[in-house]
């Protein structure tokens, strides 16, 4: 279905045929814009930014590029095409036709899932709102803003579901999504990682690599949902998510590249005096962002997760490609847990282990980028390897919450941890150094001292393209 850009709210859900819904969303729209102006990218609302806008929801040719002022970005409601005759792929309702309306008995649970997903989207925009002041290039500034407007659209996606399918409670939840604030003591965002600060660009790249990737895995699980409107909106969101992870992976890769070039050029280990970031500092940032992102998967053993699955609301990653009964009532899955002072694997019922399984799929995916980063280091002939820390390292949620475990997975005492933690997590000194490098670069084609240029421009634009017009 084509996207209608003539309507006030662009959409491909035939919004104009449902006057009540259209009016409700048109009332929410100005409040969203107020939130965007208050909590979105600071100071840059009036600039022309080279943004991509969705023009259709099929895999090919869905984007158009052009300079747009962010508040004029055409946020709207885009669902992937319906699949004729789709049936529920897992759980107790496996084989039944998918639901086009909310099943009454699952209403509360489903609403909660949608609200949790929706809450992360504006949270990330809030976390990143100061970064525009210190972008290392116009190219990077543009990528930040692209990620921000798309996270804004992801909020629209969830708010549409709340308005269209959950009546008055849905409308109230949609309001509350604009009221919580990342890091606020009284009304924080729902999930832990979304209340952390994103104070610098190394953190931003780590966030888009590790935390947006949680988004990929959660959205992929929800894209399997028996509640068809949720599945379809998540399928389209996933196409946007790919760019966010690209920004993270290439961003970190470019920082590594720059560091390695300087290490070779000056034959040193410490590149801080040359205005770059040392590899061990990057490892500590990686340790932090990976571990807080692991927390986003919830407890290893979770009856919530079992219920989401059995109810047909949230599947596994690539549910359709797995060869088993898709009910999992008699199956087991190996899960890490503390066992007599050591971390060891043991078989647990597959249904209650679904968070652990999704986290494992996520970790495997995270490791792929680490391999590519290490290739950059190796190509420069430098003897250093970045590593993902052990799953039990630095956790706040689940079986390892508040235990002391090294990046290698060894359980240690609090004293040993305190004595060693500066080797494992970003120190004051790391953060201060990274912060000292955060000086904006606004000349087209120029980059800050700590990051290499990208391999190619957005939409094949030349290196000195004006991605953001300051005038």
In whole angstroms, what is the distance from residue 47 CA to residue 385 CA?
A: 40
Task: Tell me: does residue 305 bind ligand BYC (CB under 6 A).
Answer: yes
- Residue 365 structure tokens: 């995916």
Task: Tell me: does residue 153 bind Fe ion (CB under 5 A).
Answer: no
DSSP, residue by residue, 378-390: HHTT------PPP
Task: Tell me: does residue 404 bind Fe ion (CB under 5 A).
Answer: no
Q: CA nearest 224: which of 340, 296, 301, 314?
A: 314
Quick one: which segment of 274-282, 289-297, 341-349, 459-467 binds ligand BYC (CB under 6 A)? 289-297
Of the pair 140, 241, the CB lying nearest ligand BYC is at: 241
CA distances 103 to 80, 99, 165, 228, Å, are 21, 7, 10, 11
> Please, what is the minimum distance in Å from the beta carbon of residue 126 to ligand BYC?
11
- Residue 75 structure tokens: 């946020």
Q: Using alpha carbons only, what angle is made at residue 112 by residues 54 and 214, rounded to the nearest 5 degrees?
A: 55
In whole angstroms, what is the distance from residue 159 CA to residue 115 CA?
A: 8
CA distances 202 to 199, 227, 248, 277, Å, are 9, 38, 9, 9
Of the pair 194, 447, the CB lying nearest ligand BYC is at: 194
The CB-nearest residue to ligand BYC is 298
- Provide φ and ψ at 99, rounded to 5°: -90, 135
From the CA atom positions of the chain, what is the Rg in Å?
A: 23
Task: Tell me: does residue 295 bind ligand BYC (CB under 6 A).
Answer: yes
The binder of Fe ion chosen from 140, 212, 319, 430 (CB under 5 A): 212
> Please, what is the minimum distance in Å from the beta carbon of residue 386 to ligand BYC?
21
Residues numbered 411-440 forming contacts with ligand BYC, rule: CB under 6 A = none
> Please, what is the minimum distance in Å from the beta carbon of residue 149 to Fe ion?
11
Task: Tell me: does residue 397 bind ligand BYC (CB under 6 A).
Answer: yes
In whole angstroms, what is the distance from residue 438 CA to residue 98 CA?
A: 49
Q: Give the containing element (helix H, strand E) for 233.
A: helix 228-266
> Please, what is the minimum distance in Å from the beta carbon of residue 355 to ligand BYC?
5
Of the pair 117, 143, the CB lying nearest ligand BYC is at: 117
Quick one: which segment of 36-44, 138-146, 294-302, 384-392 binds ligand BYC (CB under 6 A)? 294-302
Task: Tell me: does residue 281 bind ligand BYC (CB under 6 A).
Answer: no
Task: Tell me: does residue 297 bind ligand BYC (CB under 6 A).
Answer: yes
> Please, what is the minimum distance in Å from the beta carbon of residue 151 to Fe ion?
5
- Residue 233 structure tokens: 């909106």
Provide the CA 307 distance to its chain's centre, in angstroms: 24
Task: Tell me: does residue 117 bind ligand BYC (CB under 6 A).
Answer: yes
Quick one: which segment of 62-70, 92-100, 209-217, 436-444 binds ligand BYC (CB under 6 A)? 209-217
- Provide φ and ψ at 453, rounded to 5°: -65, 160
Task: Tell me: does residue 151 bind ligand BYC (CB under 6 A).
Answer: yes
The binder of ligand BYC chosen from 9, 113, 336, 437 (CB under 6 A): 113
Q: Using alpha carbons only, what angle is made at residue 439 by residues 434 and 440, rounded to the nearest 5 degrees?
A: 135
In whole angstroms, what is the distance from residue 192 CA to residue 212 CA?
A: 14
Binding residues for ligand BYC, total number by CB under 6 A: 25
Quick one: which segment of 110-118, 198-206, 254-262, 403-411 binds ligand BYC (CB under 6 A)? 110-118
- 278 in Cβ contact with 272 (< 8 Å): yes
The binder of Fe ion chosen from 244, 326, 395, 404 (CB under 5 A): 244
Of the pair 319, 377, the CB lying nearest ligand BYC is at: 319
Of the pair 362, 450, the CB lying nearest ligand BYC is at: 362
DSSP, residue by residue, 5-53: -SSSS-BSS-GGG-HHHHHHHHHHHHHHHHHHHHHSSTT-TTSEEEEEE
Task: Tell me: does residue 298 bind ligand BYC (CB under 6 A).
Answer: yes
Query: Rule CB under 6 A: which residues touch ligand BYC?
Result: 113, 116-117, 120-121, 124, 151, 191-192, 211-212, 214-215, 218, 295-299, 302, 304-305, 314, 355, 397
């Amino acid at each position: 279905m084509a996207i209608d850009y003539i309507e006030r709210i662009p959409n491909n859900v035939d919004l104009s045929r449902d006057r009540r819904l259209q009016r409700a969303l048109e009332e929410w729209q100005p409040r969203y814009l107020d939130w965007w102006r208050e909590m979105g990218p600071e100071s840059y609302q009036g600039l022309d930014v080279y943004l991509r806008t969705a023009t259709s929801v099929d895999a090919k040719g869905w984007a158009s590029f052009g300079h747009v002022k962010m508040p004029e970005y055409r946020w709207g409601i885009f669902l992937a095409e319906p699949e004729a005759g789709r049936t529920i792929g897992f759980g107790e309702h496996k084989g039944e036709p998918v639901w086009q309306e909310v099943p009454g008995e699952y209403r509360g649970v489903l609403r909660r899932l949608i609200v949790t997903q929706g809450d992360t989207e504006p949270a990330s925009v809030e976390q990143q709102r100061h970064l525009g002041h210190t972008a290392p290039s116009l190219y990077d500034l543009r990528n930040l803003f692209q990620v921000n407007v798309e996270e804004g659209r992801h909020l629209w996606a969830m708010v549409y579901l709340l308005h269209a399918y959950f009546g008055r409670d849905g409308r109230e939840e949609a309001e509350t999504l604009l009221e919580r604030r990342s890091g606020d003591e009284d009304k924080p965002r729902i999930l832990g990682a979304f209340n952390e600060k994103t104070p610098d660009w190394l953190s931003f790249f780590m966030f888009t690599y590790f935390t947006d990737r949680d988004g990929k895995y959660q959205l992929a699980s929800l894209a399997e949902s028996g509640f068809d409107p949720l599945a379809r909106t998540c399928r389209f969101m996933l196409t946007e998510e790919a760019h966010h992870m690209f920004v993270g992976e290439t961003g970190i890769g470019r920082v590594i590249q720059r560091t390695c070039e300087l290490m070779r050029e000056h034959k040193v280990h410490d590149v801080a005096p040359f205005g770059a970031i040392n590899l061990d500092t990057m490892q500590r940032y990686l340790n932090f962002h990976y571990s807080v992102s692991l927390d986003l998967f919830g407890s290893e053993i979770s009856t919530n997760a079992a219920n989401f699955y059995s109810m047909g609301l949230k599947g596994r990653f690539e549910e359709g490609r797995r060869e088993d009964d898709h009910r999992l009532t008699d199956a087991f899955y190996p899960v890490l847990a503390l066992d007599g002072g050591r971390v060891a694997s043991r078989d647990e019922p597959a249904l209650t282990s679904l968070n652990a399984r999704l986290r494992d799929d996520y970790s495997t995916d995270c490791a792929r980028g680490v391999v590519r980063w290490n290739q950059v280091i190796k190509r420069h002939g430098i003897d250093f390897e970045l590593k993902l820390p052990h799953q039990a390292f630095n956790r706040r949620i689940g079986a390892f919450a508040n235990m002391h475990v090294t990046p290698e997975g060894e359980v240690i005492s609090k004293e040993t941890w305190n004595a060693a933690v500066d080797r494992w997590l970003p120190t004051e000194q790391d953060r201060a150094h990274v912060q000292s490098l955060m000086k904006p670069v606004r000349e087209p084609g120029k980059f800050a001292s700590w990051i290499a240029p990208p391999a190619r421009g957005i939409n094949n634009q030349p290196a000195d393209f004006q991605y953001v017009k300051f005038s």
